[in-house]
Amino acid sequence: MPTTNANVLARNNVQRLGRGTQPMLFAHGFGCDQNMWRFVTPSFENDYRLVLFDYVGSGRSDLRAYNSERYSDLHGYAQDILDICEALDLRDVILVAHSVSSMIGLLAAIQQPERFHRLVFLGPSPRYVDEPPHYTGGFQRRDLEELLETMDRNYIGWAHGLAPVIMRNPDRPQFTAELAASFCSTDPVIARRFAEVTFFSDNRGDLPKLQVPSLILQCSEDLLAPQSVGEYMHRHVPRSTLKVMRAQGHCPHLSEPAETCALIQDYLRPS
Amino acid sequence: MIAPVPSSSCSPLDELLRAAPCGLFAFDDAGTLLALNDTLLDVLGYAREDVQGRPVTGLLSLASRLFCETHVFPLLRMQGRVDELYLTLRTRSGESVPMLLNAVRQERAEGAVHQCAVMSVRERGKYEDELLKARRAAEEALRNNAALIQIRQEFEEHTRTLDHKLTQLEQRNQELTRVSAILAQDLREPIRKLSLFACLFTREDREGLSMTGQRSLELIRTVSAKLEQLVVGLHQFMSLDVLEDPIEEVDLLEAVGNARRRVKEMSGHPAPELRCAALPIIEGRRRQLMTLFFHLLDNAAKFHKPGELPRVDIECQLVQHNSFRALKDRYHYTDFVKITVADQGMGFATSDAGYVFEVLRKLDPDSPGLGVGLPICRKVVENHHGTLSVESEPGRGTRFTLLLPLKQQTHSAA
């Protein structure tokens, strides 16, 4: 199947909203899909043209487009971002990327710096595995292999927990049943491969190649990306700004959307 | 461990929660443990004051904490509940206890609370281990089988195509060698003679001719000189296909330096002023890569703005790129060097960007040069499994972007 623009939009379940002109592209992290951004997008709708998508293999993307060779490398995911930029002819893009998407976005912006205006990284890490004596990613290989086992257990036969469920939350009517049915639903085999490529990639060597200015949002007490990793990023990414957030955990856009939005807006405000 | 005898002050419901045969606990939005029942304390070997008021993640193994951060907490917030999730809890002595978790999120005036129940699945876990092992083996077998069948079909198809292409290629190569020989000798010789004989006319001879005769003679000389150049250019272009240069380590900085010297010697134009980033050593054909940079610099030297000295900026960046170019759905990311060669010369309209790489296609027939330089560049880049693209704007200059692999594939068609 040739990759035409319409194909890309359907393949990555691309959604567009907002009333501005400058594009703001939101890239979800590992374990979830574009619904993760729903508490954040309202703050930018008036001023930007918002583009949301699911990586192939996540959310409501077209699973038939999954190519194990392509997506066994973060560059394959970066190609998803570049494909979307090309399909919509996006220029001057502000890319907001969570977790592993930070490295995916970084790789995309190294390949086509002319497309991007600013990058915003939420809880980025260039390498999760410790590389003694000079680098502490926070994890031993064994810890991450155990995580893969935990994932396998939770995906047995698709039966439990992470399989699509119908929304049982009547006090939040904005979550329609349809959205809920797709939330975080992912093919177990693909999810496992995504986990492998996420947690075992090493992108430390790519950091100095980024030419586009970037904002690193570092949460306090983030198990996946400890503060020392944020500082490492800041030291090695040229033209980067580091902000340490009050928000705790790995998903500030869920737990502290107000702080997350305010920091991004501050950063984008022309000085 | 046996739970203490209930005091008579407890209601039967409190008693049920306290000593139920499953672990119960609650934590708030910040992840602080608000309450937990005696059963859970017993299973984990903690006293209440060890854990209550502390982070709930302290009860989990590291892998399960990771899983909670990436899956469970987002799901609870977005979906309000999770069911039958597998997690590993950690006892005070560091032992792992596999558990199934059900949790619901309740929004309250004072903040959200997550109510959780866990049940040990140690025995069930062994059964699941077997299931998982079997499933992995089945998946693996299925994948190998499907992959093998597909590979065999593709292989057969490819073999046929390859055979056909090789036959064609061999024939084409013979033709090319012949054409190249014609260009090098058979065609060049008569043209050279034409030039030579036109020059043999002495001044006296010419003075004996009419004005028309003199003009015709002059035209014969210019045209034959141009024709000779054209044949030389075409021969250069064709020979890139025919000659087999060895692949070796080429220092691109050296190639650029040599190319610049040659522009100065050959063209008579001033050599362009060069600002060049550090360039790597890559595998390639030395002579061809030098020719590539020669033509790029020569182009800048020819098409600089009147009254300005030609200036070229060379930038370089190492990137990873898919090394498959024509085949769809094949991906292999390898190291490439991305080099941009930019001048601030006359430039051309972007709509002409396709033409400039066509042989003998000149945007302005009166401009200097033969119209083989850029096609040669593209051929060199293609011979190295790279790509060459151009952007330009009239009056602003031209920027060529080269993408060359650091390593050449070792196997070559015999």
pLDDT confidence of residue A68:
87
Inspect the interface and report whether the beta carbons of A160 and B86 lie closer than 8 Å: yes
Residue B83 with chain A: CB contacts under 8 Å:
160-161, 165
Q: Which residues pair with B104 in a beta bridge?
A: B81, B115
Q: Does B74 touch chain A (CB under 8 A)?
A: yes
Between CA A17 and CA A216, with CA A24 as vertex, the angle to 5 degrees is 140
Residue A248 with chain B: CB contacts under 8 Å:
30-31
Query: Who among A150, A165, A223 is closest to B79 (CB)?
Result: A165
Residue B321 with chain A: CB contacts under 8 Å:
75, 111
**Which residues have a Cβ under 8 Å from the Cβ of A117 and sit 6 or more positions away?**
A22, A92, A93, A94, A212
Q: What is the pLDDT of residues B66-108, one digit of tens each?
A: 999 888 888 888 888 888 888 999 999 999 999 999 999 999 9
Residue A35 with chain B: CB contacts under 8 Å:
78
248-287 in B: which are within 8 Å (CB) of A?
none
Residue A223 with chain B: CB contacts under 8 Å:
57, 65-66, 69
Q: How far apart are CA A130 and CA A139, in angstroms?
A: 6
Q: Where are the alpha helices (DSSP H) in chain A?
A: 5-11, 74-87, 100-111, 141-154, 177-182, 188-200, 227-236, 252-255, 257-268
- DSSP β-ladder status, A116-122 and A93-98: parallel
The H-or-E segment that residue B118 falls in is: strand B113-120
**Least Cα separation, residue A241 to chain B (angstroms):** 23
Residue with tokens 């910040």: B30
Between the alpha carbon of residue A234 and those of residues A102, A138, A259, B143, B254, the distances in Å are 13, 17, 20, 42, 35
Fill in the amino acid letter for A206.
D
3-state secondary structure A158-190: HCCCCCCCCCCCCCCCCCCHHHHHHCCCCCHHH
Fill in the amino acid letter for A103.
M
Residue in chain B closest to A69 (alpha carbons) equals B331
Residue A209 with chain B: CB contacts under 8 Å:
317-319
Which tops the pLDDT comparison, B356 or B395?
Answer: B395
From the candidates A99, A102, A125, A201, give the one annotated as an active-site residue.
Answer: A99
Q: Which residues pair with A217 in a beta bridge?
A: A122, A243
Residue B413's pLDDT band (boundaries 50, 70, 90)?
very low
Query: Who among B74, B131, B329 is closest to A156 (CB)?
Result: B131
- Count of pairs with CB atoms under 8 A, one residue in A, one in B: 135
Among A150, A210, A246, which would you mutate to test the B interface (most chain B Cβ atoms within 10 Å of its Cβ)?
A: A150
The closest alpha carbon to A81, from A47, A123, A119, belongs to A119
Query: Who among B66, B71, B317 is closest to A162 (CB)?
Result: B71
Query: Who among A76, A79, A254 is closest to B77 (CB)?
Result: A254
**Least Cα separation, residue A271 to chain B (angstroms):** 30
Between the alpha carbon of residue B234 and those of residues B212, B238, B394, the distances in Å are 32, 6, 28
- Per-residue confidence of chain A (271 residues) as pLDDT tens digits? 456 788 999 999 999 999 999 999 999 998 788 988 999 999 999 999 999 999 998 888 988 899 988 999 999 999 999 999 999 999 999 999 999 999 999 999 999 999 999 999 999 999 999 999 999 999 999 999 999 888 888 875 443 334 333 333 344 444 444 444 344 556 777 888 899 999 999 999 999 999 999 999 999 989 899 999 999 999 999 999 999 999 988 999 988 999 999 999 999 998 6
Q: How far apart are CA B152 and CA B190, in angstroms?
A: 55
Please state the pTM of the whole predicted model: 0.73
Residue in chain A closest to B98 (alpha carbons) equals A150
Query: Who among B70, B85, B317 is closest to A161 (CB)?
Result: B85
Q: How many CA atoms lie within 13 A of B150 on its CB side?
A: 6
Task: Examine the residue annotation and report whether A75 is marked as an active-site residue of this protein.
Answer: no
**Least Cα separation, residue A18 to chain B (angstroms):** 22
Q: Per mean pLDDT, which range of A200-209, B213-222, B353-362, B369-378 is the poorest?
A: B353-362
Q: How far apart are CA A26 and CA A41, in angstroms?
A: 9
pLDDT confidence of residue B256:
93
Residue B82 with chain A: CB contacts under 8 Å:
161
Inspect the interface and report whether the beta carbons of A79 and B322 lie closer than 8 Å: yes
Task: Examine the residue annotation and report whether A234 is marked as an active-site residue of this protein.
Answer: no
At B45 the three-state DSSP class reads coil
ipTM associated with this complex: 0.80
From the candidates A33, A54, A80, A222, give the one annotated as an active-site residue.
Answer: A222
Query: Who among B31, B62, B128 is closest to A153 (CB)?
Result: B128
Fill in the amino acid letter for B30.
A
Rounded to 5 degrees, what are φ and ψ at B188?
Answer: -70, -35
Task: Examine the residue annotation and report whether A89 is marked as an active-site residue of this protein.
Answer: no
Contact in structure between B117 and B101 (CB atoms under 8 Å) = yes
Q: Does B324 touch chain A (CB under 8 A)?
A: no
Q: Does B150 touch chain A (CB under 8 A)?
A: no
Contact in structure between A161 and B99 (CB atoms under 8 Å) = no
**Which residues have a Cβ under 8 Å from the Cβ of B212 and sit 6 or more positions away?**
none
Q: How far apart are CA A99 and CA A121, in angstroms?
A: 7
The closest alpha carbon to A31, from A186, A230, A231, A179, belongs to A186
Contact in structure between B36 and B24 (CB atoms under 8 Å) = yes
7-66 in B: which are within 8 Å (CB) of A?
29-31, 57, 61-66
Residue B81 with chain A: CB contacts under 8 Å:
168-169
Fill in the amino acid letter for B62.
L
Inspect the interface and report whether the beta carbons of A175 and B78 lie closer than 8 Å: yes
Query: Who among A147, A156, A254 is closest to B66 (CB)?
Result: A147
113-132 in A: which are within 8 Å (CB) of B?
none
Q: How far apart are CA B224 and CA A86, in angstroms?
A: 49
pLDDT confidence of residue B307:
80
pLDDT confidence of residue B396:
86
pLDDT confidence of residue B243:
61
The closest alpha carbon to A184, from A201, A199, A207, A167, belongs to A167
Q: From the CB of residue B224, how many other CB atoms can be counted at a distance below 10 Å?
A: 20
Nearest 10 degrees: Cα torsion B155, B156, B161, B166:
80
